[in-house]
Amino acid sequence: MEIPRPQDQTIMLDESPFEEQITVGDATHDSPIPKPVSRVGGDSPVGRPQMPSASAPSIASTRGGFGRLLLAVGKRLSTLAIALFAGLIAVLTWQDYVRAPWTRNGTVRVQVANIAPQVSGQIVELRVADNQFVRQGDVLYVIDPFDFQVAVATSKATVAQEAADLQVKKVQSDRRQHLSSLATTPEEQQTFAGNAAQAKAQFDAAQQELAQAELNLTRTKVVSPVSGYVTNLLLRVGNYAPTGVTNISVIDSDSFWIDGYFEETKMARICFGDRAEAKLMGYAEPILGHVETITRGISVSNAAPGTQGLPNVDPIYTWVRLAQRVPVRIAIDYVPAGVPLVSGMTATVTIRPVTGTDHRNWFDRVRSDVAARFSELWYGSVSRPGCLADRAGAHPATESIPVPRASPASSPEQISPGIAPGMDVAPRSSGQQDH
């Protein structure tokens, strides 16, 4: 018996062609085995999937491949641009670090007045304390003045004695000069004239000794020659102060400066008058100043004389040579409030050239700066014209301290009046007239 075959029958399978549930025991699992897809009314047999034709690529797949190519090229170009930019930044940073005029090797410096007594004696009074601020002329300590007061009194008595002797001998000489040859002889006149001259010399010497004694008495009070701070005070009352031996030091508060020790490879970019910034360790605000001088000589080890006075040249010359350090003196113009200046403190010094008014826009300035940096990278730094001006004609301000001066000399008549008023007047009558 022939069974009729249906014409319009459709075999329905699961919607998902890639999954099938398999039951094993009590558990159900998803099977990764793809299901065949049945198509009715087509050219493909039932249960066989239809594969796309490789000879006819779609337009969408072509456009997708071109987009992926552009994306890959864009990524590579972006990476190259970032690498070039990073390399440029690295080169400029390296150049700033190596060639820019800055150094961490900076030191605060100051002038210190080392004070020693000009007379010897025991210290009987101390009027200052350690780190105390004193002004110029303030008394620091006092030396026992008794011996010097006695010397002044003795010198005054000697001056009075020599003044009286000079007046008498001068009158005697004048009297002999007025006598005739019958009453005196030329030899006697010369003798009295010589005695008067000797008395005059002794009187002048006695006055100088009095001036020295008075000066030594004033020197028993040791004063500060500058305004500043007493430092490292170890002096005590009762100590003996020998002449010329330093026993107290005063820091001159008006003499602070900063020394920046720059490598010689950076000296071409430092000029007189350039602005300078110095940052002390522990303080954020910088000290402002300017380049005042540049040291013109540093020690050379090869210049040391050897045997027979000949130069001792080091035979070792390494491939890597360390650059020498040249001291540059920075004059201080401004100190921020709350920043103390202490000699010996470490500072980071940066030199910035004095710039005038630049009317160019920012792009031109950046381009010019980058071009100049690359030029220095290949050809080295070139100093600015007139950078190190000749300072031979410049004379610094003269510094001085007040010094004692001897009082003007007095005449014998002022010291011992009425002893010899004249050749024909007696001293007593002259003294009675004065009274």
List Cβ neighbours of 396 (8 Å cut-off, separation of 6 or more).
none
Query: What's the pLDDT at 31?
Result: 47
Helix (H) or strand (E) holding 262: strand 257-263
Closest residue by Cα to residue 262 from 416, 398, 105: 105
Closest residue by Cα to residue 250 from 269, 235, 270, 232: 232
Q: Is the pTM of this model over 0.95?
A: no
Query: What's the pLDDT at 16?
Result: 47
Query: What's the pLDDT at 202?
Result: 93
3-state DSSP percent of the chain in helix, strand and coil, to 5: 35, 20, 45
> Could you tell me which residues are beta bridge partners of residue 299?
none
Residue 404: phi and psi, rounded to 5, are: -70, 150
Contact 29, 56 (CB under 8 A): no
86 SS3 class: helix
Contact 106, 261 (CB under 8 A): yes
Two structure tokens written together for 335: 């100190």
CA angle, residues 337, 354, 265, in degrees to nearest 5: 100
Alpha-carbon distance 414 to 407, whole Å?
14
Two structure tokens written together for 220: 């028993």
Two structure tokens written together for 261: 């020790």
- Residue range 325-383, pLDDT digits in tens: 999 999 999 999 999 999 999 999 999 877 655 566 777 766 776 676 666 666 666 66
Query: What's the pLDDT at 265?
Result: 85
Two structure tokens written together for 84: 């070039």
Contact 430, 418 (CB under 8 A): yes
Three-class HEC string of 100-163: CCEEEEEEEECCEEEECCCCCEEEEEECCCCCCEECCCCEEEEECCHHHHHHHHHHHHHHHHHH
Alpha-carbon distance 250 to 228, whole Å?
6
- Residue range 225-241, pLDDT digits in tens: 999 999 999 999 999 99
Alpha-carbon distance 237 to 122, whole Å?
8
Helix (H) or strand (E) holding 347: strand 346-352
Query: What's the pLDDT at 210?
Result: 94
Query: What's the pLDDT at 414?
Result: 75
Two structure tokens written together for 48: 């066989």
> Could you tell me which residues are beta bridge partners of residue 348?
279
Two structure tokens written together for 280: 């002390």
Amino acid at 52: P
Contact 347, 106 (CB under 8 A): yes
Query: What's the pLDDT at 116?
Result: 96
Alpha-carbon distance 33 to 406, whole Å?
126
Q: What is the DSSP letter of 179?
A: S
Location of structure tokens 């100190």: 335
Query: What's the pLDDT at 135?
Result: 96
Alpha-carbon distance 119 to 142, whole Å?
11
pLDDT of the chain along its 435 residues, tens only? 454 554 544 444 444 444 444 444 444 445 444 454 444 444 444 445 555 554 455 666 666 777 888 888 888 889 999 998 898 888 777 777 777 889 999 999 999 999 999 999 999 999 999 999 999 999 999 999 999 999 999 999 999 999 999 988 888 888 888 887 788 788 888 888 888 899 999 999 999 999 999 999 999 999 999 999 999 999 999 999 999 999 999 999 999 999 999 998 888 889 998 999 999 998 999 999 999 999 988 888 888 888 888 888 888 877 888 888 999 999 999 999 999 999 999 999 999 877 655 566 777 766 776 676 666 666 666 667 777 766 655 667 777 777 777 777 777 877 777 667 766 666 654 444 443
Task: Spell out where 273-324 has E strands.
Answer: 275-280, 287-294
